[in-house]
Amino acid sequence: MAIKDLTPNQLRQFIQNHDEKSYLLLDVRQPDEYETFHIPGARLIPLPELVQTVDSLPADKALIFYCHVGGRSLAAASMAEEEIQGAENIYNLSGGIMAWDQATVSNQPDVRLFDGQTTLEMFRTAMNLEKGAMRFYAHISDAYPDPSWSEVFGRLAKAEIAHAKTVHEAWEQRDAELAPFEKLFEGLDGEVLEGGLALKDAMTQLAFEGEQTCLRMLEMALKIEYTAYDLYRNLAHQLSESENSEVFLSIAQAEKGHMRALIDAIEGCPP
């Protein structure tokens, strides 16, 4: 089972062509966002609440998730995919309610960062992606010192370094002449995040966030973490060598832990 993306037009057609009893349209934003504007017929289940109740959603209905621009809804759809036994139709509204409302949305690139690479090249790419995420989270932690979310991003920055060390250990087993972790990590540019978004573009997006800065940063981070989870999970399945596969599966599992930490931080955001 895979999460299916819907464009706003596809969602409108889906709603028009399906019986109301056959699907649930789920808004996973915060209550104040829902009250300001929501898609007609949508049921509000804020993401922190959904974490506790996702296994109670019906497996025999199509589940369509949306949020502001797609980060929180991707996390919600990912949890539903994992927790709901027998669910066959799980959808995510691409671009969220901003796209539904025909606003301009910054697209996150969907790239295949490891295509055509050898295993050793994959290790270097993975370490560089971890450094990019570390730089992004460290920037937020330093630039926005509000304790309600700065601490979360500070912890994530340290976790990305730990991920990079895990990759380095696996790489070192294949290359006895590999440089020490500190030297190699320092030499990486970290200009691309785990989800494929260029670091400079992520910084630019943050600079232009106005209202609800906390929510927007957490949502961007959720989208990055979900894409990283999906990237590493698929990479693990592609690798024929079980030892290397396990490395990337363990990182994918850790990305889910990052998503949970970001979800927990949502309720600390000011309205």
Q: Where are the alpha helices (DSSP H) in 181-241?
A: 181-187, 199-207, 213-238
Distance CA(173)–CA(162), nearest Å, equals 17
pLDDT of residue 104: 40
Question: Does the predicted model carry a pTM greater than 0.75?
Answer: no
pLDDT interval class at 105 (50, 70, 90): very low
Least confident of 17-26, 142-151, 238-247: 238-247
Least confident of 120-124, 125-129, 171-175, 235-239: 235-239
Domains of the chain: 4-100 (3.40.250.10), 119-266 (1.20.1260.10)
- Please check the confidence at residue 141 and state whether its pLDDT lies above 80: yes
Distance CA(258)–CA(59), nearest Å, equals 26
pLDDT of residue 80: 94
- What 3-state class would DSSP assign to 58? coil
Average pLDDT over residues 98-117: 62
Q: 66: closest CA among 36, 22, 32, 100?
A: 100
- Please check the confidence at residue 195 and state whether its pLDDT lies above 70: no
Radius of gyration of the chain from its Cα atoms, rounded to whole angstroms: 19
Give 23's strand partners: 62
Distance CA(263)–CA(29), nearest Å, equals 11
pLDDT interval class at 187 (50, 70, 90): very high
Give 66's strand partners: 27
